[in-house]
Structure 1
Amino acid sequence: MYDWTIDGMLRAGFSKKMADYLHGLWKQEKESGLWAEEDLEWAHARGFLAESAVAYNLKEAEHIEDYLSDYEYYRIWPLNSWERIWINDKLTLKYMLAGTKYDRYMPKYFYYKTEDRLMPLMDCPEDCRHSSADAVALLVEREKKVACKPCNGALSVGFFELSYENETFYINGEVCGKEELRSFVEKHPNYIYTEYFVPSTQLGEIFPLIHTIRVLAIKDGEEKSKIAGGYLRFGTKDSGHANYMNSNSATVFAYDVKIDTESGRFSEGKAVYIDRIEDMPYHPDTNVLVEGTIDLWEEARDMVIGITEYLGLCEYMGFDICFTNKGVKIMEINSHSGIKHLQMRKPLLEEEWCRTYFAKKIEALDRLTSEEITKRNQLMR
């Protein structure tokens, strides 16, 4: 039986950070009215949130034990040691890969906005390399489109598209003047300004804004890095400039697609609501059949494995990659990415090597002394 109270989680070895987070999700779904009480009890008794149990169709699953539970996944955070700082924010990752053979897979980085100034970065054009807010306007005029996002964030929160067309500036498609653009820059510290991605012709025909492919890679000690799973997601007209919708109501869905991480074959589009999954083989806005094999997939796989080996002290990495008109690109790498959408397509514990990896992490927590548990409760980053 799982104890979903904060005190119970702390006794089980959770960090206070993750205990608070998971307890909040547990409480939110109990109060949502979306599930019958018996369904909530069934899922929670097995360590799963109700929304995960629905996404995995757990009541019909032949092998529930193949699915890593939400309770255990949040309990074993952090899977990476202190070296997770190498990937936890976009700017550090950029510098970690700069000058390596993997540098070409990163977007161009133009500026970073500190609390008090705009700092030109390595890919900033020479004539834009000054620290006034007007430099961004000059850059946007030159590039036509620039992406702007928090240096460390999640779920596509805070993403902006800055653009210039017909002598007019736009923020997320809304007209703005130079003064408004200057104000925007000043009001968004800890933001980076990067190359704007345009999807490859193949994937752009499905939806014109950039997609994301999440690929989970694991390096277990001396073993060669392996890919544990992945999925493809597309934006919709409702998701705006982001391609992820946090499905926290019965009327909002994310659009997910199965991908074979060996071959790059994709198919079986689904609308993922918080309380149900609906088959949707055609994109809901463009009505294009979402099916095919991704061009350059072998190169993308080699890149993921290569970077996982190169940053080998980070043993657990969730890559967000895309396929653009300039080739394969990395959006970011996550140190503890969500697993619901991954396990919808392939249970993480289905393969023996992956089951063993997670089992070792759980068993290590079960052996902790009370003093070690107290110390672990205090982990914040």
Structure 2
Amino acid sequence: MEHTVERYTDCFETFLREPNEATYTQVCAERYRRKQSGQSVDRREERSRFFQLLHAYQREQHPLYLQAMSRTDARLTGALASDTYVDILKLKRRCPDADLPALREAFFRNCAFPEMVKEDVYVNRPLRKAGKLCEKLLSPAKKVGDFAYHQYWYGKRGYSSGTLKAWNRQKKADTLENPYAEPQLMRWAHRNGFLYDRIDQYGLTEANCGDFVSDRDYISLGSVNNSYKKWIEDVPSLRYCLTGVTQYLPEMYYHVLRRDDKTVIVRMPDCPAGYAGGDARELLRLLREKGRLLFRPASYHAGAPFFRLTYDGVNYIMNRRPVTEEALLYTLQNRRHHYVLMELVDILDAEQAVCGADMTELRAVILNEQLTDPRIVDLRIVYRDGDTVQADPVTGVFDDDKQLPLWQSVSAQIREFCLFMPQLEYYSIHFRITAKGLCVMSCNPAPALLHDGTIDPRVMDYLCRKRDERCYPRPVVTVKRIQDRGWKLFKKVCCRPGYRDYMLHEYVNGVLDDLRNFHNTTLRQKLWSYRRGYYSFRIDQYQLTEDNWRDFLSDRDYHWLCPINNHYQKWIDDKMTYRHVIEPFKDAAPRYYYHIMQRNGVSCALRMEDCPAEYPSDFEGIVSLLEHEGALALKQSAGEHGDGFCKLSYADGKYYINHDEVDRDAVLTKLQSLDRYYNVTEFLTMHEALRPLYPGSVNTIRVMVLNPTGCDPYIANAYMRIGTGSTKLTDNLGYGGVSAKVDVDTGRFYDGTQLKNHVITSCPNHPDTGMLIEGQLPEWDKVKQTLTDICNYFGQLEYLGFDVAISSQGIRILEINKYQDLNRCAYYGDTIQNYFKDKIAAKNKRLHLHQ
């Protein structure tokens, strides 16, 4: 929420000026919200500002001077309640003119609990100091004991260590937020996994605890959505992944991100024509044109400030304060977090008139178990002070007689928005009602359980079912857990910092596989190559010697360096997300007809953007489409190296799976038995000019594109992959495919080679067809222009490997790879080698490692 930091500051200052029960409650509520959103609460800063305010009161002889001091009793928690008498002594040191006896007398006279505070000051302080010293000495042993206890008693009930750590943080926060709760009730609630407030909210008893999902179980569930929750995890992903419902999103113009400790400015899809990326002054030019913009963190949970930017024709104004152009440029360019420059959305006047001027947004919780029936199960009006008011999701009525404006049309728009992403089943959307209707500001794939109001029984039943499915008993010690601990220890002791777990696994397994299975090198050669970071088969591939081994990118450095792209590489992790992201270039993508997924253990078929309207969203629709098209491709959504690829075909009343004749029921059984995410797409045939090389596969071109600045991509390398009889329907080089160099400037392919037992051998003619592997790629200039435009479209990614098919249907980009094999590293020119050297140097600098 964009006002979180400012709202907390306002509440704290109000409390200092009017220290009473109401203002104290607001401070506690805001402090809890900041903790929940991942923002820190600096107690030292609170204490410092408290003394500054009292000092100002004393200088001005303010009537609140003694009043504010006298009411800082034990009710006022953390920053004000821990050492109240010592606070008076500190105030005396900071304000030498203060009358200490009068202050002390006024404090004890007006304190709500004078006896308790006097006892705390005069009697318990020495004991508490001794207790704190013992606690500090015994803290390591206590932590070890607590960890072992939690690992045993909670681990065998199915809870992970991450769940336990998060639950312990919530328990501590709950104890601080309820200092006068009954201790026995507090312990009972925490033992059963609930926060203290849930006792009254749910009416908890020993008999009905199991009827509600506990806070501990909810943490264990995490996000109940599948991997497609990444579509709504941050602001840029909303714009790039939900391309079919962008009319319900605010316009986004620029993305400011950090790359190798440098600021990179990337144009976003809504940026007007004529504006370039890479220059912060373009952001100011856009501000002068638009007049009002919002500069906000890209992540919902970054805890970073929002900036409302305004230009009145003369001055720049940031958060209602005039600033110079230089100061504004500094703010735009020097951000630690990723930021987005976007449209500043105004709330509808009629909405503010009904809900109040302090209203900030509306929050709707969506439940979509049946894929095609998203329902609003909770609707809240959120105010600036953090309060919420529950409204009826159907009618939009709240406070008995007030009605949200345009609610019927807005609820229909929410349904349309949610139907675009049926893969998600439980999430919340935060939106505003504008003159155009719905405007979604953010989404949350894991909505927080609410402390106030009523919870829809459908939500509680749904969460309880998910809890029963996931939270299963498990043994405390398993082989996998021992292996994981061993990997962590190995990574910490034996490896340099900076490895991702997956990449370290890949590298170590590659070394072990090379040691066991590659027999063309001696043990001495293997050890020589391992010490320098190479697999031993690279000695022949790269012609490595003691003089030139530093000239190539080693396998160890490459695995340590990856992933080179930032976390926005999730946009190309799977083909489903890739299809949404590449929507503006859909003519260059294969036709995606259906998406096959599992929901509640049952396979489901969902229609996609390119599916004709007459075909239903079920498996019968896929078979009917097959009968019309004649051939379809079945691909894993997140498969690699062509794994899981299958060809479905129909001709002369007969059905085929990978050229094997089957009946119609067998095709349906094949589709319904898929236990992973699959996509059904058009089946491509090679361009007439390339088909004679080998017609049995789609012979793709791998094109490496680098975009380090975010706005100036260039093609660094390209090679063609040609299938053979051993690769079947794919063209994978590791399975026996043939590769050929491609001249980036002209599109001419030549110099065929084949990888046999990790050794690159010459193959001038195709081993099956006998055709000479040399010729000209058709439409090569169009391919280069298309790839450059795509890289400019999402400049957040800088290291991409495109798989391009030049087919009879036109140019088709099958997928974009974030992690490319190094088989052809020896053929890379100085440009690529220098790029990798710069990336390694930047990562070493970032991690403070020696070169």
TM-score of the superposition, structure 1-length normalised? 0.87
1:122 equivalent in structure 2: 609
The equivalent position to 1:91 in structure 2, one of 549, 573, 576, is 576
What is the aligned-residue identity percentage?
25
Query: How far off is 1:86 after superposition?
Result: 1.3
Q: Corresponding residue for 2:46?
A: none
2:235 paired residue number:
none
1:66 Cα deviation from its structure 2 partner: 3.5
Matches of 1:109 and 1:233, distance apart in 2: 23
Q: Choose the corresponding residue for 2:718, options 220, 227, 230.
A: 230
Alpha carbons of structure 1 residues 89 and 45: separation in structure 2 relative to 1, 3 Å: same
| AA of the residue aligned to 1:233 | R
Structure 2 match to 1:219: 707
User: What is the identity, as a one-letter code, of the residue corresponding to 1:210?
Assistant: V
- Cα RMSD for the two superposed structures: 2.1
- 1:250 — aligned with what? none
Return closer, same or farther for 1:9/1:232 CA change in 2, 3 Å cut-off: farther
- 1:321 to partner: Cα distance: 0.4
1:16 to 496, 501, 507: 501
| Residue of structure 2 equivalent to 1:379 | none
The amino acid that maps onto 1:55 is: Q
Please say if residues 9 and 19 of structure 1, whose CA atoms lie closer than 8 Å, have aligned partners that are also in contact.
no
2:567 aligned to 77, 82, 103, which one? 82
Residue equivalent to 2:412? none
Q: After TM superposition, give the deviation of residue 161 of structure 1 in Å.
A: 0.4
Q: Secondary structure at the match of 1:146?
A: strand
Q: Is the 8 A contact 1:254 1:273 kept in 2?
A: no
Q: Which residue matches 2:747?
A: 264
Partner of 1:376: none
Letter in 2 for 1:306: D
Equivalent runs, 1:1-381 vs 2, <5 Å: 6=491, 10-34=495-519, 35-59=521-545, 63-98=548-583, 100=584, 102-115=585-598, 116-131=603-618, 133-188=619-674, 189-208=676-695, 209-222=697-710, 224-247=712-735, 253-341=736-824, 343-344=825-826, 346-347=827-828, 350-351=830-831, 354-368=832-846
Distance (whole Å) between structure 1 residues aligned to residue 758 and residue 609 of structure 2: 45
Tell me which amino acid in the other structure corresponds to 1:300.
Answer: V
**How much has 1:124 moved relative to structure 2?**
1.0
Q: Distance in 2 between matches of 1:159 and 1:279?
A: 28
Cα offset, 1:219, TM superposition: 0.6
Tell me how far apart the structure 1 counterparts of residues 524 and 719 of structure 2 sit (CA, whole Å). Answer: 31
**3-state DSSP of counterpart to 1:202:** coil
In structure 2, do the counterparts of structure 1 residues 356 and 271 end up closer, same or farther at CA, with 3 Å as the change threshold? closer
Instruction: List, as ranges, runs of 4+ consecutive aligned residues in structure 1 with deviation greater than 6 Å.
Output: none
Residue 201 of structure 1: SS of its match in structure 2?
Answer: coil
Moved more, 18-27 or 222-231: 222-231
Kept in 2: contact 1:68–1:347 (CA 8 A): no
Map Cα deviations across residues 22-48 of structure 1 (whole Å, 9 max, x no partner). 100100110114232122223223221
Query: Which residue pairs with 2:328 in the alignment?
Result: none
Question: More helix by proportion, 1 or 2?
Answer: 2
Change (3 A) 1:195 1:36: same
Change (3 A) 1:271 1:78: same
TM-score normalised to structure 2 length: 0.40
Q: Are the structure 2 counterparts of residues 300 and 63 from structure 1 closer, same or farther at C-alpha, using a change threshold of 3 Å?
A: farther
Distance in 2 of aligned mates of 1:327 and 1:160 = 21
The AA in structure 2 aligned to 1:56 is Y
Question: Structure 1, unaligned stretches of length 5 or more?
Answer: 248-252, 373-381
Instruction: Label 1:19 to 1:143 Cα distance change in 2 as closer, same or farther (>3 A).
Output: same
The superposition leaves residues 42-77 of structure 1 with CA deviations (integer Å, 9 ceiling, x where unpaired) of: 3223221123332222249x8443321111111011
CA drift of 1:185 comes to 0.8
Paired residues of 2:518 and 2:537 also in contact (CA < 8 A):
no
Which structure is higher in RCO with an 8 Å CA cutoff and minimum separation 6? 1
Instruction: Tell me, in whole angstroms, the C-alpha distance in 2 between the residues paired with 1:369 and 1:290.
Output: 46
Distance 1:313 1:7, change over 3 A: same
TM-aligned CA deviation for residue 280 of structure 1: 1.0
Q: Give, as a single letter, the amino acid of the residue that structure 2 aligns with 1:49.
A: Y
Change over 3 Å in CA distance of 1:243–1:222 after alignment to 2: closer
Residue 274 of structure 1 deviates from its aligned partner by: 2.5
Which protein is bigger by CA-based radius of gyration?
A: 2
Counterpart-to-counterpart distance in 2, 1:120 and 1:367: 48
